[in-house]
Amino acid sequence: MADIRVVEGSEAVALAVKACRPHVIAAYPISPQTHIVETLARMVADGDLNAEYVRVESEFSAASVVSGASTAGSRSYTASASQGLLLMTEVLYASAGMRLPFVITGVNRSISAPINIQVDHQDTISLRDSGVIQLYVESAQEAYDMHLAAFKIAEDPSIMLPVMVCMDGWVLTHSYERVEFLDQEAVDRFLPPFKPENYLDTANPKTWGSYAEEDVLMEFKYSIHKAMTEGKSCIRKIMAELTALTGRDYGGLVEAYRTGDAEVVLVAMGSMAGTIKDAVDDMRREGKKVGLIRIRCYRPFPYEDLVAAVRGAKVVAVLDANVSMGSEGAVGLDVKSKLIGRPGVPMVIDFIAGLGGREVNSTAVREIVDRAERLSSSGLPPPEAEWLDLNPAIVP
Amino acid sequence: MKISSGAVVEGGTSLNYKTGNWRDQRPEIDPESCKQCGICQEVCPDDAVRQVRDRYEIDYNFCKGCGICAYECTAEAIRMKNEEK
Amino acid sequence: MPKKPTGKTESLFVSGHRACHGCGLALAVRHILEATGSNVIVVSPTGCLETFSSPYGFSPWRVPWIHHVFENAPAIASGVAAALRAQHRESTRVVAIGGDGATFDIGFGSLSGMLERGDDVLYICADNGAYMNTGGQRSGATPFCAATTTHPAGKTSLGKTERKKDLPEIVAAHGVPYVATASVAYLGDLKQKVKKAMTLHGPRYIQIDTPCPSVWNFPSHLTLEMGRLGVNSGLVPLFEMLDGKISKVKKLRVKVPVIEYLKQQKRFQHLVVKEASRGSLMAVQEQADRNIEKYKLMA
């Protein structure tokens, strides 16, 4: 009998982490991440989870504790959001460079200032260059499943990088959803114990965190890049295993939803994909050929999947819940960079959408599709990123 | 040789990096005056004094010529001499 | 006092590191490891020690060693200690060795967290009183009146206007079992303190005075001499604290006037040569006298 329950998204994540049998968990509170580490704390307090639970004094130390534990050969986990993720930034770059395979939940929340605790992707997007693999999820179920995959991806000898599972704050962490859980035996079969080739071992003393000069620095950086780009096949393989294990389709680094014959392809990440899928269904009923590509694995960037999925489309509209100030949204820039110069590619239009929890509802999605269609048939070059639902009247 | 994953390095490999050519002053132990007390070895920041049976010898592969051993030697058995290039 | 050859075993911090001539810190590290033995994992923050001991491919460390970033050595150490507990490898101990910039300043929050949590880590601060790895900038550990590159002596300046942060007292206030100060000038005392710390559990702290010939600017053969003068002037009191109470001090046989210590270092030259600095010189002497009184340093 499958174990199916309605749980809060944070609890689903905590149950996934527990099933992965981590040795060390580091915890520091920040909304809307806190329910995850609180749930894990209760499991430890009740003796249901046998892990060292380190209550640190900052997110900087949370990332550092899991880095130290990982170097010492322990499977390790932490979670954070927003400002906390930015505070971890330096540590995460170094941990990717040192090839430390811990898992971190990046609960998506806006970045100050002004301070705001609602969802957007500015926090995790700001870490996209760090060497940390990023998976974005749409539902509590996917959050559960992706945490299982995250440890397996991180610890694969060909990868050995931190993995961040990015999930929208409140919308996913605090909503209750039906989630199907695997039994412990199945998880243990999927994810064997962590046995790294190198770890801090007095019987075999090694030096970690060396100083590299210009003669090898580029090669070290390239080796991280290579682990990511070549790691895509490993991630696909693990996703296929997860699909077989769960019966839920995680084939591919992107989810292509009704894109087969689509003329307008929307691109998005995270929970807003749920709304977009409903809007796509409505428009399809009206005869509009619309589809959605939801990017699940954002780093490494799955350009092969993307290029295949937009083939035949007239226009691609990207919904970016982030912005690179003075430029455009990060996902839009990625999509454009991978399509430019290819024959017969569609126009790509970037929409900055949903910052600080601004609602992206089905009306907004329809508006995006309408504007994208109009712009692509206007004969004009693609405009700069449009800020969706902006009220220019109040901007000084 | 391929670079290692994460720049992890074997311990003790700095022995392949000789710092002796940093030296402009050379400590020399006078075996007649040496009392074999071992202070020179204790105080060397570069671990460049070796005990060979009952004697102490400077390892010129690594000695940087800081002169601490000569200054600290209670028997005044170590003299600093200009290094000849 | 001459003694018999020690017949000591192979060093755990070997030759070929790239520390400056006469580096007090490099000397301290070898002796720290002699005292801890080989069943330790060492964590270091960014700094001189990290730079001179970790050029890729050339490591002097014969114990497992990890450097991560500048301000997180205590948290890395906590993580390593947690992993060792989880793996039932607690017989392996965790030692952090960092400079004063990492310890007093940028890593202070991380250090305080580690101390408050009670993690089983021996944290050793090699204190040379400034950011030497970047050329000698002022830190919270820089002594009163010392000139640094970011607080130089000049026509209107006599160097650092603030006193050195009293970190041993601050660490002790966390309620840790062991706090000590040591000096590379007294290697036997240093090793004894490290050994003592290794017999205890929980967070422990040792602050070692490691004179820096390059930035204090004295001839490299005087590293230990400078350490002795610091101790014997009273400016660098050596003591042990068990459970927050002073349990032992190194008594001074002869009190050395601070001028004898200051005059040999370029960072204090302005106190020696400037008439206008007489008041500051007296203030430094008063500070040494206060230490002598506070720690009852005179035999």
Residue-level pLDDT at C9: 60
What's A366's domain CATH number? 3.40.50.920
Per-residue pLDDT of chain A (396 residues; tens, 9 = 90+): 579 999 999 999 999 999 999 999 999 999 999 999 999 999 999 999 999 999 999 999 999 999 999 999 999 999 999 999 999 999 999 999 999 999 999 999 999 999 999 999 999 999 999 999 999 999 999 999 999 999 999 999 999 999 999 999 999 999 999 999 999 999 999 999 999 999 999 999 999 999 999 999 999 999 999 999 999 999 999 999 999 999 999 988 999 999 999 999 999 999 999 999 999 999 999 999 999 999 999 999 999 999 999 989 999 999 999 999 999 999 999 999 989 888 888 999 999 999 999 999 999 999 999 999 999 999 898 889 999 999 999 999
Distance CA A344, CA C21 (A): 66
Residue-level pLDDT at A32: 98
Of A246, A274, A295, which residue is a domain's last?
Answer: A246
- CA distances, A340 to each of A68, A128, A336, A337, A379 (Å): 42, 21, 6, 6, 17
Q: Does the pLDDT at position C17 exceed 50?
A: yes
Please give the residue of chain B at the shortest CA–CA distance from A101: B6
Please give the residue of chain B at the shortest CA–CA distance from C21: B66
**C22 → closest Cβ in B41, B45, B56:** B45
One domain for residues A105 and A132: yes
C12 within a domain of the structure (yes/no): no
Distance CA A360, CA B1 (A): 53
Distance CA A368, CA A357 (A): 18
Whole-number percent of chain C with pLDDT over 90 = 93
DSSP states along C57-80: T---BSS-EEE--SS-HHHHHHHH
Q: Is B19 on the interface with C (CB under 8 A)?
A: yes
One domain for residues A211 and A294: no
Give chain A's domain count.
Answer: 2
Rounded to 5°, the CA angle A101-C105-C128 comes to 105
C5 contacts in B (CB within 8 Å)?
36, 38, 51, 54, 56
Q: Chains near B, with 3+ CB pairs < 8 A?
A: A, C
Average pLDDT over residues C22-49: 98
C9 within a domain of the structure (yes/no): no
Distance CA A99, CA A253 (A): 22
One domain for residues A42 and A182: yes
Q: Do A207 and B8 touch (CB under 8 A)?
A: yes
* Number of residues assigned to chain C: 299
Residue-level pLDDT at C5: 43
How far is C220 from chain B, CA to nearest CA, in Å?
5
How far is A25 from chain C, CA to nearest CA, in Å?
9
Q: Which residues are CB-neighbours of C150 under 8 A, at least 6 positions away?
A: C137, C138
What's A67's domain CATH number? 3.40.50.970
How far is A166 from chain C, CA to nearest CA, in Å?
23
B72 contacts in C (CB within 8 Å)?
224
Q: Is C21 on the interface with A (CB under 8 A)?
A: no
CB-based burial of residue C60 (10 Å sphere; 0-12 exposed, 13-18 middle, 19+ buried)?
buried
How much of chain C is helix, strand and coil, in % rounded to 5?
40, 20, 40
pLDDT tens per residue across span B37-53: 999 999 999 999 999 98
Q: Do B7 and A97 touch (CB under 8 A)?
A: yes
Which residue type, as a one-letter code, is found at position A192? Answer: P
Q: Do C56 and A212 touch (CB under 8 A)?
A: yes
Domain map of chain B by residue range? 20-82
DSSP state for residue C271 in the 8-state scheme: H
Nearest alpha carbon to residue C110 among A51, A63, A36 = A63
One domain for residues A154 and A259: no
Nearest alpha carbon to residue A177 among A10, A18, A299, A304 = A10
C110 contacts in A (CB within 8 Å)?
57-58, 60-61, 64
Distance CA C187, CA C288 (A): 22
One domain for residues A238 and A271: no
pLDDT tens per residue across span C257-277: 999 999 999 999 999 887 778
Nearest alpha carbon to residue C204 among C100, C95, C123, C298 = C123
Residue whose entry in the numeric block shows the structure tokens 């005392």: C189
Q: What number of other Cβ atoms are within 10 A of residue A48's Cβ? A: 10
Residue-level pLDDT at C299: 80
Q: What number of other Cβ atoms are within 10 A of residue A395's Cβ? A: 7
One domain for residues A214 and A313: no
Mutate to test the interface with B, among C221, C222, C225, C229 (most CBs of B within 10 A): C221
Q: Does the pLDDT at position C1 exceed 90?
A: no
How far is A126 from chain C, CA to nearest CA, in Å?
19
Residue-level pLDDT at A169: 98
Residue-level pLDDT at B36: 94
- The pairing of strands C245-249 and C239-242 is antiparallel
Residue-level pLDDT at C274: 72
User: B24 with B65: CB under 8 angstroms?
Assistant: yes
Range of the domain at C75: 24-294
User: B27 with B79: CB under 8 angstroms?
Assistant: yes
Q: In CATH terms, is domain B20-82 a member of 3.30.70.20?
A: yes
Q: Do C87 and A90 touch (CB under 8 A)?
A: no
Residue-level pLDDT at A382: 86
Nearest alpha carbon to residue A124 among A115, A114, A137, A140 = A137
Of A184, A216, A246, which residue is a domain's last?
Answer: A246
The chain-wide mean pLDDT, for chain A, equals 97
Bridge-partner residues for C65, per DSSP?
A207, C42
Nearest alpha carbon to residue A276 among A388, A135, A126 = A388
How far is C30 from chain B, CA to nearest CA, in Å?
8
Nearest alpha carbon to residue C180 among C125, C235, C141, C131 = C125
Backbone angles phi, psi at B69, to 5 degrees: -60, -45
pLDDT tens per residue across span C93-134: 999 999 999 999 999 999 999 999 999 999 999 999 999 999
Q: Do A208 and B8 touch (CB under 8 A)?
A: yes
Residue-level pLDDT at C6: 47
Q: Do A99 and B6 touch (CB under 8 A)?
A: yes
Give chain C's domain count.
Answer: 1
A97 contacts in B (CB within 8 Å)?
6-7
Q: How many A-C residue pairs are in contact by the CB < 8 A criterion?
A: 160
One domain for residues A222 and A330: no
Residue-level pLDDT at C273: 81
Of A214, A246, A278, which residue is a domain's last?
Answer: A246
DSSP state for residue C248 in the 8-state scheme: E
One domain for residues A45 and A134: yes
Q: What number of other Cβ atoms are within 10 A of residue C43's Cβ? A: 32
Distance CA A319, CA C203 (A): 50
Q: Do A97 and B5 touch (CB under 8 A)?
A: no
Q: How far does CA C127 lie from the centroid of its chain?
A: 3
Determine if residue B53 is left, alpha or beta; phi over 0 gives left, psi from -120 to 50 gives alpha, anything else beta. left
Q: Does the pLDDT at position C47 exceed 60?
A: yes
What's C47's domain CATH number? 3.40.50.970
One domain for residues A236 and A376: no
Please give the residue of chain A at the shortest CA–CA distance from B6: A98
Residue-level pLDDT at B85: 65
One domain for residues A222 and A280: no
SS3 A370: helix
**Interface predicted TM-score (ipTM) over 0.85:** yes
One domain for residues A145 and A191: yes
Distance CA C142, CA C127 (A): 9
Range of the domain at A58: 3-246
User: A257 with A294: CB under 8 angstroms?
Assistant: yes
Distance CA C123, CA C40 (A): 12
A207 contacts in B (CB within 8 Å)?
8-11
A68 contacts in C (CB within 8 Å)?
43, 66, 68, 75-83
Q: Do C219 and B67 touch (CB under 8 A)?
A: yes
C26 contacts in B (CB within 8 Å)?
45-46
Distance CA A366, CA A105 (A): 32
Which two structure tokens, joined as six digits, stand for A240?
């296929």
C6 within a domain of the structure (yes/no): no
pLDDT tens per residue across span C194-251: 999 999 999 999 999 999 999 999 999 999 999 999 999 999 999 999 999 999 999 9
Q: Is C68 on the interface with A (CB under 8 A)?
A: yes
